[in-house]
Amino acid sequence: MSALEKRTLGKSQLEVTKLGIGLWAVGGGQWGPTDDSESLNAIDAALEAGITFFDTADVYGGGRSEELLGRAMKGRRDRFIVATKIGWVNYDGERDRTAYDTVDKLIAGVESNLTRLQTDHVDVIQSHIDHRESTMEIFVEGFQRLQDQGKVRAYGVSTSDLEYLKAFNDAGGCATLQTDYSILNRTAEAEILDYCQQNDIGVIVRGPLAMGILTGKFSSDVQFHDDDFRRRWLETPEERDIFMSDLAKVELLRPLAQGRTLAQGRTLAQLALQFVMSHPAVTLAIPGAKTEEQLRDNVGAALLPRLTTEELATIDAITPHGGGRKIWPA
């Protein structure tokens, strides 16, 4: 198998593969039931495929995702570039109540991340909230202290809000942005990706498969597990209409995916990953993978070339540049 392309993650100077793995789903909770052994096998398969970047958060499965990654890293920490996030636990965005209302509390919180991950440092720490400047200042100062202590190598923020990103990067220390970007949500193309290029901020794409919609596996009669947050797509007539519109766009994409001249073809998911990894501002994409089969499909996309001008034009006709909708609000 060919080696995965590596790219520099903004001013962090970390060399990462252009495909990583997002570990939200392996924590269970909002994605329905999971199997720890399958999740650990998927992490092993990612590592063996050459993937170096693993993204998690304190809130995923109430810490379970971090704990699983910690188990997987045991005895081979040097093979993992680890990114985690902090902020959503005990956070109330409406009233700006947060467990991390002082720098000392934030630092103690990150120490808890490190304990679950069974490591003395993380490569990237990210703010998982983006609502208030007072909270932002605490996070930036705390992250900078942790960087000075060698407990984090770089820091950034997870947001789709350009003004918040600019404020977070006011002192120039923000090395990464994690943002929602996909064929169905091209809003980042309007301004945020350009800003990242101009300011040497590495872009980590979450949601490149639009929470599974772009895999093509959903139909109009899909039923989600009771614990799966995607049930909200079916809760009201308005939400259902939006979901049906997304499914219609997926059907328009099928001929493009299947029309590839390569003998092995490509899946819809691979086309979707190719799309985000083809943008010059994007450093890497972090689709989730709960099983080895999903992981292998993702890796296959990373071995394909950038999309051609003609392919991008076809996608533009389905979802115009800068258009679409936010699949996930944060």
Nearest CA among 120, 126, 99, 114 for reference residue 9? 126
Residue type, 72: A
What's the CA gap between 150 and 19, in Å, rounded? 26
pLDDT at 34: 72
H or E element that contains 45: helix 36-48
Q: Which numeric CATH code is attached to 6-318?
A: 3.20.20.100
What's the CA gap between 166 and 143, in Å, rounded? 16
Boundaries of every domain in the chain: 6-318
Q: What percentage of the chain carries pLDDT values higher than 70?
A: 90
As given in the structure block, the two tokens for residue 79 are 């093979």
pLDDT, tens digit, 9 for 90 and up, residues 177-208: 999 999 999 999 999 999 999 999 999 999 99
Is residue 243 within 8 A of residue 233, CB to CB? The reply is yes
Is residue 44 within 8 A of residue 88, CB to CB? The reply is no
What's the CA gap between 108 and 288, in Å, rounded? 28
Q: How confident is the model at residue 290 (pLDDT cuts 50, 70, 90)?
A: confident
Q: What is the CA radius of gyration of the chain?
A: 19
- Range with lowest mean pLDDT among 14-18, 32-36, 101-105, 151-155: 32-36
Is residue 53 within 8 A of residue 206, CB to CB? The reply is no
What's the CA gap between 6 and 3, in Å, rounded? 9
What's the CA gap between 17 and 221, in Å, rounded? 37
What's the CA gap between 168 and 174, in Å, rounded? 7
pLDDT, tens digit, 9 for 90 and up, residues 112-158: 999 999 999 999 999 998 766 668 999 999 999 999 999 999 999 99
Is position 91 annotated as part of the catalytic site? no
pLDDT, tens digit, 9 for 90 and up, residues 26-79: 766 655 567 888 889 989 999 999 999 999 999 998 899 999 999 999 999 999
What's the CA gap between 61 and 81, in Å, rounded? 21
Residue 142, CA distances (Å) to 131, 165, 217, 283 in order:
17, 17, 42, 25
What's the CA gap between 153 and 5, in Å, rounded? 22
Q: Decide if pLDDT at 330 tops 60.
A: no
Residue 238: count of CB within 10 angstroms of its CB: 8
More confident residue, 157 or 236: 157
More confident residue, 280 or 326: 280
pLDDT at 308: 92
